[in-house]
Structure 1
Amino acid sequence: MGDSRGNALHSDPELEELLGRETRRRASTLQLIAGETPPTPAVLAALTSDLGTKYAEGYPGTRYHGGCEVADEVEQLAIDRAAHLFGADYVNVQPLSGSAANLAVYAAFAQPGDPVLALRLDHGGHQTHGSRANFSGRWFGAIHYGVRNADELIDYDELRDTALLHRPRIIVAGAASYSRQIDFPALRDIADEAEAILWVDAAHLAGLVAGGVAPSPVPHADVVTFSTHKVLRGPRGGMILAREPHRAVLQKAVHPFIQGGPSMNSVAAKAVCMRESGAGAFADYARATVAVARRLCDELGARGLRIVSGGTDTHLAVVDVSALDLGGREAQRRLASAGIVVDRAVIPFDPKPVAEGSAIRIGTPSAVVAGLGAEDMSTVADWIVRGLTDPVGAPQHAGIRGEILARTGG
Structure 2
Amino acid sequence: MNNVPPLDLSRQYAQIGEEIAAAVQKILASGAYIGGPAVKTFEQEFASYIGVSDCVGCNSGTDALILALRALKIGPGDEVITTPFTFFASAETISAVGATPVFVDIDAGTFNMDVDRLEAAITEKTKAIMPVHIFGQPIDMTRLTEIATRHNLAVIEDCAQSVGAQWQSQKVGSIGHIGCFSFYPTKNLGACGDGGAATTNDPALAATMRMLKEHGQSSRYFYEEIGCNSRLDALQAVILSIKLRYLDSWNAQRREKAAVYGEFLSRVPGVAVPKELPLAKGVWNQYTIRLTGPESAPNPSGNFRDSVRAKLQECGIGSMVYYPLPLHLQPVYNSLGYVAGQLPAAEQVCREVLSLPMFPELSRDQQERAIYGLKDCLAPGDRIR
Answer whether TM exceeds 0.5 for this pair.
yes
Q: Distance in 1 between matches of 2:75 and 2:243?
A: 33
Q: How far apart are residue 206 of structure 1 and its match?
A: 0.8
Q: Which segments of 5 or more consecutive residues in structure 2 lack a partner in the other structure?
A: 216-226, 296-302, 327-343, 381-385
Q: TM-score under structure 2 normalisation? A: 0.72
Pairing 1:13-162 to 2, within 5 Å after superposition:
28-33=2-7, 38-39=12-13, 40-41=16-17, 44-45=20-21, 48-49=24-25, 51=27, 68=32, 72-93=36-57, 95-109=58-72, 110-121=74-85, 125-130=86-91, 134-137=92-95, 139-148=98-107, 154-162=113-121
Pairing 1:196-235 to 2, within 5 Å after superposition:
196-209=153-166, 215-228=170-183, 229=185, 230-235=187-192
Q: How far apart are residue 378 of structure 1 and its match?
A: 4.5
Q: Distance in 2 between matches of 1:289 and 1:99?
A: 25
Q: Distance in 2 between matches of 1:266 and 1:339?
A: 33
More displaced stretch, 198-207 vs 99-108: 99-108
2:268 to 297, 303, 307: 303
Q: How far apart are residue 141 of structure 1 and its match?
A: 0.7
Q: TM-score under structure 1 normalisation? A: 0.68
CA contact (8 A) 1:145 1:155 kept: yes
CA contact (8 A) 1:30 1:341 kept: yes
Q: Which segments of 5 or more consecutive residues in structure 1 lack a partner in the other structure?
A: 1-26, 55-66, 391-410
Q: Distance in 2 between matches of 1:249 and 1:34?
A: 38
Q: Distance in 1 between matches of 2:130 and 2:18?
A: 33
CA 1:224–1:79 in structure 2 vs 1: closer, same or farther (change >3 Å)?
Answer: same
Tell me the equivalent position of 1:381.
371
Tell me the equivalent position of 1:349.
345
Q: SS where residue 343 of structure 1 aligns?
A: coil
Tell me the equivalent position of 2:339.
none
1:184 to 136, 141, 145: 141
CA contact (8 A) 1:200 1:225 kept: yes
Q: Distance in 1 between matches of 2:28 and 2:76?
A: 34
Q: SS where residue 341 of structure 1 aligns?
A: coil
Q: How far apart are residue 222 of structure 1 and its match?
A: 0.8
Tell me the equivalent position of 1:173.
131
CA 1:69–1:195 in structure 2 vs 1: closer, same or farther (change >3 Å)?
Answer: same
CA contact (8 A) 1:88 1:242 kept: yes
CA contact (8 A) 2:60 2:196 kept: yes
Tell me the equivalent position of 1:340.
317
Deviation string, structure 1 residues 21-60 (Cα, Å, up to 9, x no partner): xxxxxx9432335999945425742685474699xxxxxx
Deviation string, structure 1 residues 99-135 (Cα, Å, up to 9, x no partner): 22222222322113421111222xxx331222xxx35
Q: Distance in 2 between matches of 1:83 and 1:68?
A: 22
Q: How far apart are residue 371 of structure 1 and its match?
A: 3.5
CA contact (8 A) 2:156 2:177 kept: yes
Deviation string, structure 1 residues 258-303 (Cα, Å, up to 9, x no partner): 32554321122122223x14xxxx4343222113213213312312
Tell me the equivalent position of 2:151.
194
CA 1:152–1:342 in structure 2 vs 1: closer, same or farther (change >3 Å)?
Answer: closer
1:349 counterpart letter in structure 2: A
2:197 counterpart letter in structure 1: M
CA 1:380–1:342 in structure 2 vs 1: closer, same or farther (change >3 Å)?
Answer: closer
Q: How far apart are residue 88 of structure 1 and its match?
A: 1.5
Tell me the equivalent position of 2:355.
361
1:323 has 2:290 as partner: no
2:48 counterpart letter in structure 1: H
CA contact (8 A) 1:223 1:240 kept: yes
Q: Distance in 1 between matches of 2:159 and 2:178?
A: 10
CA contact (8 A) 2:42 2:237 kept: yes
1:270 to 229, 237, 240: 240
CA 1:83–1:250 in structure 2 vs 1: closer, same or farther (change >3 Å)?
Answer: same
Q: Distance in 2 between matches of 1:114 and 1:254?
A: 22
RMSD: 3.8
Q: Distance in 2 between matches of 1:53 and 1:333?
A: 48
Q: Distance in 2 between matches of 1:293 and 1:370?
A: 11
CA 1:294–1:370 in structure 2 vs 1: closer, same or farther (change >3 Å)?
Answer: closer
Q: SS where residue 304 of structure 1 aligns?
A: coil
